[in-house]
Structure 1
Amino acid sequence: MIKNIFTMLLLAGGCLAVSAQEIQLNKGWKFAVGDSAQWASPTFNDKNWQNIDVNHNWERQGHPSYDGFGWYRIHVTIPSSLKEKSFLKDSVRLSLASVDDNDEVYLNGKLIAKYGGNGGTIKDGHYGPRTYNIAANDPSILWDKENVLAIRIFDTGGDGGIYGEKFTLAMADVMDNVQVNTDSDFSFEENNSLAKAVKLQTVNKYQYEGQLAFKVTDPETGAVIYEKTNPARFTAGKPFTYSFTIARLAKKSYTIAYTFHDGKSGKDIVKTETTPYILTPYPSAKPKINGPDVYGARPGNPFLYLIPATGKKPLAYKAAGLPEGLKLDPATGIITGSVSQAGDYKVTLTVTNSLGTKSKEFTISIGDKIGLTPALGWNSWNAWGLSVNEEKVKISAQAMADKLSAYGWNFVNIDDGWEAENRAADGAIVSNSKFPDMKRLTDFVHGLGLHTGIYSSPGPRTCGGFLGSWQHEDQDAKTYADWGFDYLKYDWCSYSEVTPANPDLAALKKPYEVMRASLNKVNRDIMYSFCQYGWGDVWKWGAETGGNSWRTTGDIEDTWRSMSDIGFRQDAASPYAGPGHFNDPDMLVVGKVGWGPSLHNTRLSFDEQYTHISLWSLLSAPLLIGCDMGHLDRFTLSLLTNDEVLAIDQDALGKGAMPQVKKDGYQIWVKELKDGSKAIGIFNVSDKYQTIDLDKNGDVLKGFTKYRDVWQQKFIVSTGKTFTAKVAPHGVLLVKLEK
Structure 2
Amino acid sequence: MLAAFLALGVSSHLATISTALAQKDGTTVLARTPPMGWNSWDAYGESVSEADIRANAQWMAQNLKSHGWEYIVVDMGWYITNHTGESNAKNSKYSLDEFGRFTPATNSIPSANSSAGFKPLADYVHSLGLKFGIHILRGIPKQAVDANLPVEGSSFHAADAADRKDTCPWNPFNYGVDPAKPAGQAYYDSIARLYAQWGVDFLKVDCISSHPYKGEDIRMIREALDKTGRAIVLSLSPGPAPLDKAREIARYAQLWRISDDVWDVWKTTENFPQGPGNQFARTAAWAVHSGPGHWPDADMLPLGSLRPSAGWGESRETRLTKEEQRSLLTLWCIVRSPLIMGGNLTALQTDPWTTSLLTNDEVLAVDQHSKDSRAAIQTENSAVWVSRPAEGPGYYVAVFNLSDQPQTLQYHWTELGLAAGRYKVHDLWEHQEAGPIALLKVNLSPHASTLYKIIPQ
TM-score (norm 1): 0.48
Q: CA deviation at 1:493?
A: 6.4
Q: CA deviation at 1:599?
A: 2.4
Tell me the amino acid that sits aligned with residue 73 of structure 2: N
List alignment gaps of at least 5 residues for structure 2.
Answer: 1-5, 81-93, 113-117, 142-167, 178-183, 268-274
Q: Distance in 2 between matches of 1:404 and 1:552?
A: 26
Quote the residue 1:543 is aligned against.
Answer: 250
Alignment check: 8 A CA contact 1:701 1:737 kept:
no
2:52 aligned to which of 392, 399, 414 = 392
1:435 aligned to which of 109, 112, 116 = 109
Tell me the amino acid that sits aligned with residue 419 of structure 1: Y
Structure 1 vs Structure 2: percent identity of aligned residues?
30
Alignment check: 8 A CA contact 1:614 1:734 kept:
yes
Q: Distance in 2 between matches of 1:534 and 1:288?
A: 33
Q: Distance in 1 between matches of 2:134 and 2:74?
A: 5
Q: Distance in 1 between matches of 2:394 and 2:18?
A: 22
Kindly provide the CA deviation profile for residues 512-544 of structure 1, in whole angstroms up to 9, marking residues without a partner as x.
011011101112110001114134324332112
Quote the residue 2:402 is aligned against.
Answer: 685
Tell me the amino acid that sits aligned with residue 435 of structure 1: I
Q: Distance in 2 between matches of 1:567 and 1:395?
A: 34
RMSD: 2.8
Quote the residue 1:291 is aligned against.
Answer: 14
Quote the residue 2:435 is aligned against.
Answer: 717
Kindly provide the CA deviation profile for residues 120-145 of structure 1, in whole angstroms up to 9, marking residues without a partner as x.
xxxxxxxxxxxxxxxxxxxxxxxxxx
Alignment check: 8 A CA contact 2:395 2:453 kept:
yes
Q: CA deviation at 1:296?
A: 5.2
Quote the residue 1:448 is aligned against.
Answer: 128
Alignment check: 8 A CA contact 1:416 1:464 kept:
no
Alignment check: 8 A CA contact 1:419 1:467 kept:
no
1:649 aligned to which of 367, 377, 380 = 367
Q: Highest Rg: 1 or 2?
A: 1
Partner SS, residue 725 of structure 1: strand
Q: What are the residue-to-residue correspondences of 1:152-551 with 2, within 5 Å?
A: 289-291=12-14, 295=18, 297=20, 367-420=27-80, 421-433=94-106, 434-436=108-110, 437=112, 438-460=118-140, 465-466=172-173, 470=177, 471=184, 472-492=187-207, 508-537=214-243, 538-544=245-251, 546-551=252-257
The structure with the greater share of residues assigned to strand is 1
Alignment check: 8 A CA contact 1:459 1:495 kept:
no
Q: Distance in 1 between matches of 2:407 and 2:258?
A: 30
Q: CA deviation at 1:510?
A: 0.6
Quote the residue 2:154 is aligned against.
Answer: none
Alignment check: 8 A CA contact 2:137 2:207 kept:
yes
Q: Distance in 2 between matches of 1:635 and 1:294?
A: 25
Alignment check: 8 A CA contact 1:454 1:489 kept:
yes
Kindly provide the CA deviation profile for residues 216-268 of structure 1, in whole angstroms up to 9, marking residues without a partner as x.
xxxxxxxxxxxxxxxxxxxxxxxxxxxxxxxxxxxxxxxxxxxxxxxxxxxxx
Alignment check: 8 A CA contact 2:138 2:217 kept:
yes
1:621 aligned to which of 331, 337, 342 = 337
Partner SS, residue 452 of structure 1: strand
Partner SS, residue 543 of structure 1: helix
The structure with the greater share of residues assigned to helix is 2
Change (3 A) 1:707 1:442: same
Quote the residue 1:302 is aligned against.
Answer: none
Kindly provide the CA deviation profile for residues 332-385 of structure 1, in whole angstroms up to 9, marking residues without a partner as x.
xxxxxxxxxx566xxxxxxxxxxxxxxxxxxxx963211000000000111111
2:322 aligned to which of 591, 606, 628 = 606
Change (3 A) 1:287 1:532: closer
Alignment check: 8 A CA contact 1:591 1:601 kept:
yes
Check if 1:728 corresponds to 2:435.
no
Tell me the amino acid that sits aligned with residue 98 of structure 2: A
Q: Distance in 1 between matches of 2:257 and 2:299?
A: 6
Tell me the amino acid that sits aligned with residue 402 of structure 2: V
Q: Distance in 2 between matches of 1:424 and 1:408?
A: 35
Check if 1:583 corresponds to 2:286.
no
Structure with higher RCO (Cα < 8 A, 6+ apart): 2
Alignment check: 8 A CA contact 1:539 1:552 kept:
no
Alignment check: 8 A CA contact 1:707 1:716 kept:
yes
Kindly provide the CA deviation profile for residues 583-632 of structure 1, in whole angstroms up to 9, marking residues without a partner as x.
00111111111313752111111100000000000111000000011101
Tell me the amino acid that sits aligned with residue 333 of structure 2: S
Q: Distance in 2 between matches of 1:631 and 1:700?
A: 42
Q: Distance in 2 between matches of 1:513 and 1:549?
A: 14
Quote the residue 1:233 is aligned against.
Answer: none
User: How many residues matched?
Assistant: 380
Change (3 A) 1:515 1:469: farther
Alignment check: 8 A CA contact 1:691 1:724 kept:
yes
Kindly provide the CA deviation profile for residues 32-54 of structure 1, in whole angstroms up to 9, marking residues without a partner as x.
xxxxxxxxxxxxxxxxxxxxxxx
Kindly provide the CA deviation profile for residues 647-699 of structure 1, in whole angstroms up to 9, marking residues without a partner as x.
0000164x4x3221123321111123322532111001112221111114443
Alignment check: 8 A CA contact 2:240 2:257 kept:
yes
Tell me the amino acid that sits aligned with residue 423 of structure 1: L
List alignment gaps of at least 5 residues for structure 1.
Answer: 1-282, 299-341, 345-364, 497-502
Kindly provide the CA deviation profile for residues 84-120 of structure 1, in whole angstroms up to 9, marking residues without a partner as x.
xxxxxxxxxxxxxxxxxxxxxxxxxxxxxxxxxxxxx
Partner SS, residue 129 of structure 2: coil
Q: Distance in 2 between matches of 1:451 and 1:294?
A: 12
Quote the residue 1:559 is aligned against.
Answer: 265
Alignment check: 8 A CA contact 2:208 2:218 kept:
no
Tell me the amino acid that sits aligned with residue 134 of structure 2: I
Alignment check: 8 A CA contact 2:370 2:388 kept:
no
Q: Distance in 2 between matches of 1:494 and 1:641?
A: 31
Q: Distance in 1 between matches of 2:425 and 2:33?
A: 25
Q: Distance in 2 between matches of 1:287 and 1:734?
A: 16
Q: CA deviation at 1:726?
A: 1.3
Alignment check: 8 A CA contact 1:294 1:652 kept:
no
Q: CA deviation at 1:293?
A: 7.3
Change (3 A) 1:495 1:674: closer
Change (3 A) 1:532 1:688: closer
Q: Distance in 1 between matches of 2:246 and 2:412?
A: 33
Q: Distance in 2 between matches of 1:581 and 1:688?
A: 36
Q: Distance in 2 between matches of 1:649 and 1:457?
A: 28
